[in-house]
Structures are given as structure tokens and as C-alpha cells.
Structure 1
Amino acid sequence: MTSIHVNAPIRNLLQNEGAAKARDPLPRLLSQLIARAGGTVMVERAVSRPWASALFQGRRHVVALTLAGPDAAERRAAFVQGIEEAEWSLSGHFVADISIDCRRPVPGGEWVELSALTIEDW
């Protein structure tokens, strides 16, 4: 499993994103999720795979985050509240569905796992 400990500015997640539409919107979604979580965040897992229906194509994402620090429980509550209605800015894609799959306390913080479906916006 690959982990990313985020203490540096999140702009580094997007350094390889070109001017053209990215095939995988996961880096931009991940940077927005980290910003939403605030504070110290560790990306425990972030995976993406192609998805398609008869009319649309996109990607299915699974992201697991650990929010650390003494205020982790409050930050987790703020992170999950209203996430289904949140606005996301993804070049060439939009979030069709996002949901929290699991949330629980862990030593030193809070664990949050979510799933998202992004659709290519033509």
C-alpha cells in the first residue's frame, strides 16, 4: 500500500497535470479532498479505475485518508458533513456520486474511506 503524508502544499500533487484535459481526475480530486480535510492528512490509499455505462464514461475512485491531530474528530465530522452536495472543480470531469464508505477512530486520529464516480464532461 502506498501512503502520502501531506504536510507540504498540495500544489505538488498537480505538478504533472498538463494543459490538456487529464485522463484521470484523481490528482485534482485528491487535492480538493485534502484541502477539505484540513490539518495533517495522510493519504493511505488512492486508486482509480475506468468506468463506463451505455451513455457515459468516467472513473471510479476509492480514497482512504487518516486525519491526525487533537482536533481530528471535529475535522472528520466537518469533512463528511455535506460531502454528497459539495462542489468539485475537475477539468474535463464532474463528480456524479461521492459517498463515505467507512469512518472510525484510529490511534492518533480518524480514518475516512470514500468512493467517488467521476464522469467525463464533453
Structure 2
Amino acid sequence: MLNALRARTSGSARRGPWLKLLCEVLALAGPQGELLRHGERPWSSATFSGSRHSLALSFTGERAIDAGEALIAALPDHEFAIPGHLVADATITCVDHDNGPEPRMTVEAEFLLLEEC
């Protein structure tokens, strides 16, 4: 998944902090995590500017769900390394379990990235 993401965004594609953010979150999720969607919108306050990102990942199967639980546990303390940006907030906003024939967990998270001065 990481290599496909990097290949798709190489070359003349506009690179922003979103690519590094996605790569770090997917590395935390491990190979069992599947990116469902990513959204980005500008964010600013009186003193800061940056962007807010939302991500959704799915984990299918018992082993993958264990990896998703590890992501949930690791995310609050993870030190992101995104050049020119600070991750001011990383929050799990939703966890949904589907106990069908093959168990599946969907994790949604939001991130606030601030531009460093």
C-alpha cells in the first residue's frame, strides 16, 4: 500500500504534508491496514495556519484487528516527523466493528497539522 501510494504521487504531483502523514499512519497500521479514504481541508486560527485531515482505515480478520487495536493505542503518543509541520492533534473519532463471517474493524481519525514558522 505504501509503495503504491508513493508511486501514484511521484513526479509532478503536488506533494504536501498529507503524503508524509499518510505514510506514517499506514506504517503504524502495518500491512494489514487498508486506506479507505483521506480528506484534507485548510484550517486557520488568529495565530496559526495549517490543515485538518481525516482518515479511514479498515482491518479485516482477527490478526488485522489486532494491528488496528495497536494503531489505536500507539497514535496518541506517536511523534510524527513531517517537515515544516507539527501534528497538534491526532484523535480517533470512530471505531466500528463488523462481526460478519470475516470480522472487520474500521478506524476513523482526525489530525490537525500546523505550519511551523
- Report Cα offsets for 1:79-118 as digits up to 9, x if no partner: 1014122111111111000100001223542100000000
SS in 1 for 2:81: coil
State how 1:15-26 maps to structure 2 within 5 Å.
15=7, 16=9, 22=15, 24-26=16-18
Query: What does residue 69 of structure 1 align with?
Result: 61
Query: What does residue 77 of structure 2 align with?
Result: 85
- Report Cα offsets for 1:13-39 as digits up to 9, x if no partner: 345468xxx5x3111111111110112
Question: Residues of 1 paired with 2:10 and 2:86: CA distance?
Answer: 17
Task: Indicate the RMSD between aligned Cα atoms, in angstroms.
Answer: 2.0
Query: What does residue 26 of structure 2 align with?
Result: 34
SS in 1 for 2:62: coil
- Report Cα offsets for 1:33-77 as digits up to 9, x if no partner: 111011222211101010001111000000000022331221111
Kept in 1, the 8 Å contact 2:34–2:59? The answer is yes
Q: Which amino acid aligns with 1:57?
A: S
Q: Structure 1 stretches (4+) deviating beyond 3 angstroms? A: 14-18
TM-score, length basis structure 2: 0.83
Residues paired across the two proteins, number: 111
Structure 1: where are the runs of 5+ without partners? 1-5
Query: What does residue 58 of structure 1 align with?
Result: 50
Kept in 2, the 8 Å contact 1:14–1:28? The answer is no
Structure 2: where are the runs of 5+ without partners? none
% identical aligned pairs: 32
* Residues 1:118 and 2:113 aligned together: yes
Where is the helix percentage greater, Structure 1 or Structure 2?
A: 2
Q: Which amino acid aligns with 1:55?
A: T
Query: What does residue 104 of structure 1 align with?
Result: 96
TM-score, length basis structure 1: 0.79
